[in-house]
Amino acid sequence: MTTTETTAGTARGTAAEAAGSAVSFDRVTKAYGDVVAVDGLSLDLYPGETVALLGPNGAGKSSTLDLLLGLRRPDSGTVSVFGTGPREAITAGRVGAMLQSGGLMDEVTVGELVRLACDLHPRPYRVQDVLAAAGIAQIADRRVNKLSGGQEQRVRFALATAGANDLIVLDEPTTGMDVTARQAFWATMREQADQGRAVLFATHYLEEADAIADRVLVLHRGRLLADGTAAEIKARAGARKVSFDLDELRADGAAAVEQRLRELPFLTALDLSGHTVRLQSTDADATVYALYGLGVHPRNLEVAGLGLEQAFVAITAAEEARSA
Ligand SMILES: Nc1ncnc2c1ncn2[C@@H]1O[C@H](COP(=O)(O)OP(=O)(O)OP(=O)(O)O)[C@@H](O)[C@H]1O
């Protein structure tokens, strides 16, 4: 069975929730032939939230964003954006999007393209402000087909923020950006959220989700596997990592010691590198107790919680095992 954990007491439980949802999916399903890309998905996003959408390849992230933007229609269920259909919300200029796919018009300059986006937006910002916010003012005269990958991403970002949107949807927005561009990008997004906008981004960079998102959604096979803050998702994974050095792995009988390590209780992963042991356990106390019971002498023992990336792997692997 798939379980979805929701949280109480986070930002959306209070003022944001009272403001009404920015996005609401109600039992939305979308299949392509036999492939069910989105499977009965229900979720609400609220103004002022920055939400990361995570999931392994093929989990349904892009399909979810397509449904949200009205680029595809659900087979069943409803998608509403600010209480209307996605297309109405987009026509009203309430939604900005930065998608992976879709080429940019390349015979024009960066400045001309951004001006066009501003001209088309019902509530546009000034072109020079949009260029500055996206960090592309200095390349405004450059032709779009002469840009590097990271610069192209910045232009896409400018197009998504050409006007006063209430919801910004980003599909893997920082792919190809260097560290400085990423930091500037997220600082701008943070400002947008602080001004009450909802920001939803799909990403494979879990450290970004951890650092940036107020809320993390984990999709798996088109279903919501987890929904909470990064801290809650990590706690949900329930595992700890344990590391230590073991001189016995350098001595005679190392193979036997290694075998006994593999048999430790509650172990979910074991990695040996020289005499350094790194393991993951769903009950670190019990595993460490059993470790000492082996009569070995671990040094430099450390027990720590999982990072979001490891938690994500643990949660999705557990679901794979359950549904296998
Ligand atoms: N146009 C399409 N026709 C047929 N199958 C599709 C189509 N688009 C997506 N799919 C399938 O639907 C499932 C979900 O795909 P989707 O692109 O939404 O996942 P994703 O989470 O965005 O993946 P990734 O991380 O690889 O971008 C996958 O199995 C994919 O192969």
Given this model, what pLDDT does residue 324 score? 75
pLDDT at 277 over 90: yes
Given this model, what pLDDT does residue 89 score? 94
Residue 179 domain-assigned (yes or no): yes
Q: How many CB atoms neighbour CB 278 within 10 A?
A: 14
Q: Cβ(37) to ligand 1 under 6 A?
A: yes
Mean pLDDT of the region 155-184: 89
Share of the chain above pLDDT 90, in %: 56
Same-domain status, 282 and 163? no
313/56 Cα distance (integer angstroms)? 9
Residue 181 domain-assigned (yes or no): yes
Same-domain status, 262 and 158? no
Residues in the chain: 324
Domain holding 39, by residue range, is: 20-234
CA of 221 to the centre of ligand 1 (A): 10
Residue 215 domain-assigned (yes or no): yes
Same-domain status, 171 and 252? no
Q: What is the CATH number of the domain that holds 261?
A: 3.30.70.100
Choosing from 54, 61, 225 the residue with most ligand 1 atoms within 8 A of its CB, the one to mutate for a pocket test is: 61
Residue 8 domain-assigned (yes or no): no
Strand ranges, E, within 71-135: 76-81, 95-98
Q: What is the CATH number of the domain that holds 216?
A: 3.40.50.300
Q: Cβ(101) to ligand 1 under 6 A?
A: no
**Of residues 116 and 317, which shows the higher confidence score?**
116
94/248 Cα distance (integer angstroms)? 63
Q: Cβ(175) to ligand 1 under 6 A?
A: no
Give pairs for 253-262: CB < 8 Å, separation 24+: 257/294, 257/296, 260/294, 261/291, 261/294
Q: Cβ(203) to ligand 1 under 6 A?
A: no
149/152 Cα distance (integer angstroms)? 5
CA 198 remoteness from chain centre: 14
100/56 Cα distance (integer angstroms)? 16
For 6, phi then psi, to 5°, come to -115, 165
Residue 11 domain-assigned (yes or no): no
CA of 55 to the centre of ligand 1 (A): 11
CA of 16 to the centre of ligand 1 (A): 31
Choosing from 63, 72, 312 the residue with most ligand 1 atoms within 8 A of its CB, the one to mutate for a pocket test is: 63
Number of alpha carbons in the 13 Å side-chain half-sphere of residue 268 = 20
- Return the ligand 1 atom nearest residue 60 CA: 18
Same-domain status, 245 and 201? no
Same-domain status, 164 and 225? yes
Which tens digits make up the pLDDT trace of 193-237?
888 899 999 998 888 888 889 999 999 999 999 999 988 888 877
Same-domain status, 84 and 139? yes
Same-domain status, 69 and 131? yes
CA of 320 to the centre of ligand 1 (A): 18
> Residue 201 is encoded by which pair of tokens?
């981004």
How would residue 11 be classed by pLDDT, with cut points 50, 70 and 90?
very low
Residue 45 domain-assigned (yes or no): yes
166/107 Cα distance (integer angstroms)? 30
What SS3 state is found at 204? coil
Terminal Cα distance for the chain, rounded: 11
Residue 15 domain-assigned (yes or no): no
Same-domain status, 149 and 283? no
For 313, phi then psi, to 5°, come to -60, -40
Choosing from 34, 57, 99, 205 the residue with most ligand 1 atoms within 8 A of its CB, the one to mutate for a pocket test is: 57
Same-domain status, 78 and 111? yes
Given this model, what pLDDT does residue 253 score? 87
- Indicate the residue type of 290: A
User: Considering 206, 234, 262, which residue would you say is the last residue of a domain?
Assistant: 234
Which tens digits make up the pLDDT trace of 136-149?
999 999 999 898 88
Choosing from 29, 39, 62 the residue with most ligand 1 atoms within 8 A of its CB, the one to mutate for a pocket test is: 62
Same-domain status, 75 and 133? yes
Nearest residue CA, atom 7 of ligand 1? 32
ipTM of this model?
0.97
Residue 9 domain-assigned (yes or no): no
Q: Measuring CA to CA, which residue among 65, 45, 44, 43 is closest to residue 196? A: 45
Given this model, what pLDDT does residue 2 score? 42
Same-domain status, 247 and 121? no
Structural domains of the chain, count: 2
Same-domain status, 199 and 126? yes
Please return the burial class of 34, using the count of CB atoms within 10 Å of its CB with bins 0-12, 13-18 and 19+. Answer: exposed
Nearest residue CA, atom 6 of ligand 1? 32
Nearest residue CA, atom 12 of ligand 1? 37
